[in-house]
Amino acid sequence: MHLPKGFRLICASLLAAWFCATEPAAGQSMAPMIPGGMRESGPGGMFDELTSELSSESVGMRIYRQGILPGDRPAVATRAGAAVVPGQVACANCHQRSGLGAREGQQAIPPVVRPVLYAPKPGVRSAYTDETLAAAIRDGIDPDGRPLSPLMPRYAMQPDELAQLIDYLKKLEPRPSPGVANSVVHLATVVTEDVPPARRQAMLDVMQAYLQDLNEASASAAAGPPGRASAARQGLNPMLRWQLHVWSLSGKAQSRRAQLESYYAQQPVFAVVGGLSTDTWLPIHQFCQRQKVPCLFPTTNVPVSDRPAFYAMYFDKGSVLKAQILARYFADHPQEFSSGRIVQVLPADWTGYEPAAALRQAMGRVKAHRVVDQVVAPGIPIPSEFWQQVLSQESVCAMILWAQNADLAGLAQLASDRSLPPIFVAQDPYSGKPPVSDRRLSDRLRFISTLDPATATAAAASWSAWMKAHRLAESEAMLQANTYFVMNLVDEAVRANAGDFTPEHLIERIEYSAGSVVSHPLLASLSLGMGQRFAVKGGYVLTPGDASGRASASSDLVIP
């Protein structure tokens, strides 16, 4: 069905207006609806914070997390004879939000939670008192009069400011998640109704198999003689059990908050793991931030990419990242793409609007004028007449399709009659089948992908062996690998944190372990750091290879 251009534009405008009116909670250009949200500074993260939380807590919390004194003055500190820059001065930057400290190379940042500070460390130091703690913060000396590490800043603070910070430190103690009770760790995963049943099942099968392994290991350790538990599980309660709750969301986006709250009221969870949606992830993102529940690595093309939150972690910025990769790729290949029009075909929904806007923004004002948008109705096959009209425009140097699972049959019909420009498709070639079956297009197609198909890692081999051992076919390889990775991360973090179930501690461990201690089976360059919330920051432009869909890289890693 070919619609006149004017009609299409009107439809697109109406759809956009409808989205804006009914779903204020979606899209890159729309801020998450966190009432009175504000941001934290420093490498610890530029996070949305609940003003209500900050105002209901003490001045000390703001000093600790943000390094901001009353009157909005930045805290002032020195170390090793130099001033600490304002962005680095918050206590949480080193001691972490949880107060449980961290490790960096050979340097250990000690915990500063109340139960640790106010107890002696045999052979290391005496217990702190309010007075000696003030001296540590102000002068950098421990309770026994010895200097602290040169890493510890010496803070210039008024006595009342110090007192408020110490008051906060006395409240700072591990806060076990309500999602762990009676030796059961409750996890949830979220699936929206737009997800095909086979994909939903592929994800759930991996989760269930993983948790079954953990439960069997616990049962075996509990039943066996003392010492049977492996060293890796020491410190964990041998009676620990894991339970998965599937939170299915349906209906309109604005009803999802209530659905999530209802599920959580029935059974609080330690973390929301994985998850699957083609729709915006914003309601889940906001729910996790509100309830302080870690929300870990959903498979979604529409993550909340513009306003990071402490509790929500993503693989990448979805289609926005792909648009940014493409803009960088164009800039790196000026001979092919520095002149001529760039036509982007986008469905009239957020899966189209987001990357289309991101591409324009990434190309910059000067170059974005060469970009022409062609809006199509979502989910409807695109006829060859449409493509004919698109290609009739003068000097098209590249075409981009933002539609998921785009039907290119109409375009393939034209391929034998005329030369086509490179066609960029925002689709991972690893979804189990070739994205485009028509070979007539294959020499023109380019996939924008976060996956390096040339990389065969030990993690990939180990994952494939695990899948085989559990009789799971790699039917949705990327999704299943994502899911396995998330389960592995949570499992590793619980072990590394020695059975501590503080949500903030889980996040902090994953910032450390993602991509290093725990590798993703397929995404070799994934990693995080403190305050980072998107693990994959670059990608590749791939060309389709053989009939099996195995693609090959036509670019180095492209980092926008």
Using CB under 8 A as the criterion, which residues of the chain lie in contact with other proteins when the complex forms? 43-44, 79-85, 87-88, 93-94, 100-111, 113, 115-116, 119, 121, 124-125, 142, 146-152, 173-176, 235, 497-502, 505, 512, 516-517, 525, 527, 529-532, 537-538, 556-557, 559-560
Q: Mapping DSSP to helix (H, G, I), strand (E, B) and coil, where does residue 528 land?
A: coil
Give the C-alpha distances (Å, rounded to integers) separating 504 from 19, 68, 96, 174, 516: 34, 21, 9, 9, 20
Distance in Å, CB of 317 to other proteins, minimum: 13
Instruction: Name the residue nearer to other proteins (CB basis): 24 or 538.
Output: 538
Six token digits for residue 431: 């979804």
Instruction: Name the residue nearer to other proteins (CB basis): 469 or 498.
Output: 498
Which residues lie below 8 Å from residue 113, measured CB to CB, with a gap of 6+? Answer: 98, 99, 100, 169, 172, 173, 174
390, 343 Cβ separation under 8 angstroms: yes
Distance in Å, CB of 45 to other proteins, minimum: 9
Instruction: Name the residue nearer to other proteins (CB basis): 86 or 549.
Output: 86
Q: What is the bridge-based pairing of β-strands 445-449 and 423-425?
A: parallel
Instruction: Name the residue nearer to other proteins (CB basis): 91 or 209.
Output: 91
Distance in Å, CB of 163 to other proteins, minimum: 23
CA-to-CA distance for 354 and 29, rounded, in angstroms? 8
Q: Mapping DSSP to helix (H, G, I), strand (E, B) and coil, where does residue 443 land?
A: coil
Q: Which residue has the tokens 């028509």?
A: 438
Distance in Å, CB of 355 to other proteins, minimum: 19
Instruction: Name the residue nearer to other proteins (CB basis): 112 or 217.
Output: 112
CA-to-CA distance for 310 and 531, rounded, in angstroms? 7
Instruction: Name the residue nearer to other proteins (CB basis): 117 or 441.
Output: 117
Instruction: Name the residue nearer to other proteins (CB basis): 165 or 445.
Output: 165
Task: Tell me whether residue 227 is exposed, middle or buried, using C-beta atoms within 10 angstroms of its C-beta: 0 to 12, 13 to 18, 19 or more.
Answer: exposed
Distance in Å, CB of 553 to other proteins, minimum: 13
Helices (H) and strands (E) in the chain, counts: 18, 24
CA-to-CA distance for 345 and 6, rounded, in angstroms? 16
Quote the radius of gyration of the chain (alpha carbons, Å): 26
Distance in Å, CB of 80 to other proteins, minimum: 5
Distance in Å, CB of 278 to other proteins, minimum: 26
Instruction: Name the residue nearer to other proteins (CB basis): 140 or 521.
Output: 140
Instruction: Name the residue nearer to other proteins (CB basis): 205 or 491.
Output: 491
Instruction: Name the residue nearer to other proteins (CB basis): 278 or 513.
Output: 513
Give the C-alpha distances (Å, rounded to integers) separating 326 from 367, 380, 421: 13, 25, 15
Give the C-alpha distances (Å, rounded to integers) separating 532 from 313, 315, 325: 8, 11, 19
User: Between vectors from CA 267 to CA 486 and to CA 295, what angle results, nearest 5°?
Assistant: 30
Nearest residue to 480 via CA among 190, 185, 276, 247:
276
Distance from the Cα of residue 405 to its chain's centroid: 23
Nearest residue to 540 via CA among 430, 449, 426:
449
Distance in Å, CB of 24 to other proteins, minimum: 30
Distance in Å, CB of 532 to other proteins, minimum: 6
Distance in Å, CB of 46 to other proteins, minimum: 11
Instruction: Name the residue nearer to other proteins (CB basis): 463 or 512.
Output: 512
Q: Which residue has the tokens 């509100």?
A: 290
Distance in Å, CB of 293 to other proteins, minimum: 17
Distance in Å, CB of 508 to other proteins, minimum: 10
Instruction: Name the residue nearer to other proteins (CB basis): 94 or 304.
Output: 94
Element housing 551 (H / E): strand 551-553
345, 399 Cβ separation under 8 angstroms: yes
